[in-house]
Amino acid sequence: VIKLAKATDWLCYHTHDSRRSEAGFPDLVLVREKILFVELKTTKGRSSNEQDSWFNALHAAKGDVWVWRPADWPQICRTLNGGQP
């Protein structure tokens, strides 16, 4: 996801060691013409209570929040390519 984001001109922030960061904050912050807050999950991964709190707060602030899984790759490509496949 990070490689695609950078290739399609998104500024990308990812905390490499989240153990010292605020619990639950999304994995990625992507910025281009808008800002995306992205949580990356495995196929069966579940969000924690802290993540749910962040998702709800970001949604309430009109943030564009995504939870992406491997099966979402086509949607990820469309989103990061501005609607292009």
The pLDDT tens digits of the residues spanning 11-63 come to: 999 988 778 888 999 999 999 999 999 999 999 999 999 999 999 999 999 99
- What's the confidence (pLDDT) of residue 15? 86
pTM equals 0.91
pLDDT of residue 84: 66
Paired tokens of 31: 């910025």
DSSP string, 7-73: HTT-EEEE-S-GGGS-TT--SEEEESSSEEEEEE--TT----HHHHHHHHHHHHTT-EEEEE-GGGH
Quick: pLDDT tens for 66-85: 999 999 999 999 999 987 66
